[in-house]
Structure 1
Amino acid sequence: MFEDGQLYSPVTEHEDGTVQVHLADTHPGKDDAHYLRRRGEIAGAALRWDRAGGAPLPTIEYTDTEHAVWAEVCRELAPKHLRYAHSEFLAAKDRLDLPTDHVPQLHEVTERLEPLTGWTYIAAPGLVPLREFYGDLGQRTFSSTQYLRHASQPLYTPEPDIIHEVIGHGNGLASERFARITEAAGQALTRMESEEAAKLVADVFWFSMEFGVIYEAGPVGARELKAYGAGILSSFGEMDEFREMEIRDLDLADMGTLNYDITQYQPILFAAKDLGHLEDVVGDFFATADDDACARLRREAEGRGLVPERV
């Protein structure tokens, strides 16, 4: 099961107004003073943004290096998307038509996305509390970071950056079918009274909209495993590996209780038979779930030995 402490780099705002981002020891930018300062500047812009007052989204003056990272990732991901992404994602990506030569501002993403599916983007300095993040999803609003991964490893990031959140999630949200499932997930978690139920919903989301795979008919009729999850489709390396992982059928009890490590490629993935199957199982769960339903799934997982029984 997901734990908040696994994810993101904490952000501290000091009394003098400076903002510090605390990178993990394994982060490629942890010893780069310029990168650390830059991360603090970008996080600070989100912290100072007056969302409640309706202020315009913060504009980041991206550097040539940051634009180059974005362009390289776009160039390297494009052929992999054509090979590995589900057709619904590819069609949505074509409609959204994000720039590939420079980092878009979040208001530009909204300007392209909102006419398609009604979704908007807002700025976040880093980790957003679970209920706040999903509450926004339930309103068709995506909280996104604005920083980029370290330039020394443009095809790798240990934490979600704007590439993950815009190329991975934004393209998917340009599909009304994926957008509806994501919105329903946000509304589902908002309904949950217990933290255990909220975590189960978030973990089903992890194994679907973040790391979901789906079968689709290939050019000669054979079924091929394709990706639709943002975590896979924003990862250069994971797209080469996901078909070699353990592939299980959609199973809400398993998805909602399985332990996982966000810092590694996901060794277990859950596949829908087709897009309609995903909507029927995952979409309907998000649309109807309450605390009692989540408790039943937890008991089912315990009865099947998927998680230890509580004492």
Structure 2
Amino acid sequence: MTDAKSLLAVPPAGAAADWTIPQDWARYTPAEHAMWDTLFERQARMLPGRVSPTFLAGLDVLRMSKPGIPDFEELSERLHALTGWRVVAVPGLVPDEDFFRHLANRTFVAGRFIRTPEQIDYLQEPDVFHDVFGHVPLLANPVFADYMQAYGEGGLRSLDLNAMHRLARLYWYTVEFGLIREDGDLRLYGAGIVSSYGESRFALDDPSPNRIALDLKRVMRTRYKIDDYQQTYFVIDSYEDLLRQTLETDFAPLYAELEGEPDLATDAVLPTDTVLTLGSQAYARSQKEAVA
């Protein structure tokens, strides 16, 4: 998702009114398909034992009859049969209202380009590997699929309450960079982590970041980093609990309450936090020193 103010309100040439475009699967080159295969195999080998089993189960939906980058039409048929979701191509980041509306209608928007070999370990704008490998497996799970729809519906309501930035933080710390506690161990589930070779290791193994139990109000006060590994990860107990909190919370008074409270830094730890890991923040300090 992105800030609508940074984008033109009118879709670019070739895009429909809802910002969708044809994926045009036939245009992908052998090198682009090979990049997908390299990324897929690298993550698929590394993630078992680190990622939520629910994500691993959902990976099967990505095993297409065609090689390389999934064909969104075939992918949508398989995904729709499981949870009613579809995947559609967009030219890049889309305005918030369109993004929320797609989610509310069980449509996941995905960029159709794929990173180059020079970008294999990092790129700032999400590509088809991040969007599809990172997000789609959990959309095959009925509970998480319901959470994403509820999030989209809540996002549309937030626009009228000038609270979109609050929900952006919730998306960031759950859908993109969330951790889950399963059978006593921490596991990955956020798309931004599971699609990143480096952060898949950092988020669980490194002593630098904080790992804190998720609280909706706490998360919506917390700023986040878009250009490096996170200084804090928030941990859910289950997808069912995440959905329950979302459905049972009256967000309008919560937004009003938050207006009177300051934002929190990315490395903040509060006395009221349930801290699972108190991070050293050594990595963040080293990055600051490197550019000083």
Counterpart secondary structure, 1:73: helix
Contact preservation (8 Å) 2:21, 2:91: no
What is the CA-CA distance between 1:206 and the residue it aligns to?
1.2
**Which consecutive residues of structure 1, in runs of 5 or more, have no partner in the other structure?**
14-42, 218-222
What is the CA-CA distance between 1:291 and the residue it aligns to?
2.8
Counterpart secondary structure, 2:70: coil
Alignment CA distance shift 1:61-1:190 (3 Å): same
Match of 1:21 in 2: none
What is the CA-CA distance between 1:107 and the residue it aligns to?
1.7
Alpha-carbon distance in structure 2 between the residues aligned to 1:87 and 1:125: 32
Q: Does 1:4 align with 2:9?
A: no
Q: Does 1:210 align with 2:209?
A: no
Counterpart secondary structure, 1:152: helix
Contact preservation (8 Å) 2:61, 2:75: no
Alpha-carbon distance in structure 2 between the residues aligned to 1:202 and 1:237: 23
**Which consecutive residues of structure 2, in runs of 5 or more, have no partner in the other structure?**
266-292
Alignment CA distance shift 1:178-1:3 (3 Å): closer
Alignment of 1:266-281 (within 5 A): 266-281=230-245
What is the CA-CA distance between 1:62 and the residue it aligns to?
0.6
Of the three residues 149, 157, 162, the one matched with 1:183 is 149
Counterpart secondary structure, 2:117: coil
TM-score (norm 2): 0.79
Alignment CA distance shift 1:193-1:157 (3 Å): closer
Alignment of 1:85-164 (within 5 A): 85-98=51-64, 101-164=67-130
Of the three residues 243, 248, 251, the one matched with 2:215 is 251
Count of residue pairs the alignment pairs up: 260
Alpha-carbon distance in structure 2 between the residues aligned to 1:99 and 1:265: 35
Alpha-carbon distance in structure 2 between the residues aligned to 1:153 and 1:106: 23
TM-score (norm 1): 0.74
Alignment CA distance shift 1:57-1:161 (3 Å): closer
What is the CA-CA distance between 1:95 and the residue it aligns to?
4.4
Structure 1 ranges of 4+ moved more than 6 A: none
Match of 2:283 in 1: none
What is the CA-CA distance between 1:254 and the residue it aligns to?
2.1
Alignment CA distance shift 1:209-1:289 (3 Å): farther
Amino acid in structure 2 at the alignment position of 1:306? L
Contact preservation (8 Å) 2:21, 2:89: no
Alpha-carbon distance in structure 2 between the residues aligned to 1:96 and 1:284: 29
Match of 2:192 in 1: 231
Contact preservation (8 Å) 2:155, 2:167: yes
Match of 1:306 in 2: 264
Alpha-carbon distance in structure 2 between the residues aligned to 1:100 and 1:254: 44
Contact preservation (8 Å) 1:272, 1:278: yes
Match of 1:31 in 2: none
Q: Does 1:81 align with 2:50?
A: no
Contact preservation (8 Å) 2:15, 2:91: no
What value does the CA root-mean-square deviation take over the aligned residues? 3.0
Match of 2:273 in 1: none
Alignment CA distance shift 1:74-1:59 (3 Å): closer
Amino acid in structure 1 at the alignment position of 2:171? F
Amino acid in structure 1 at the alignment position of 2:252? D
What is the CA-CA distance between 1:111 and the residue it aligns to?
1.9
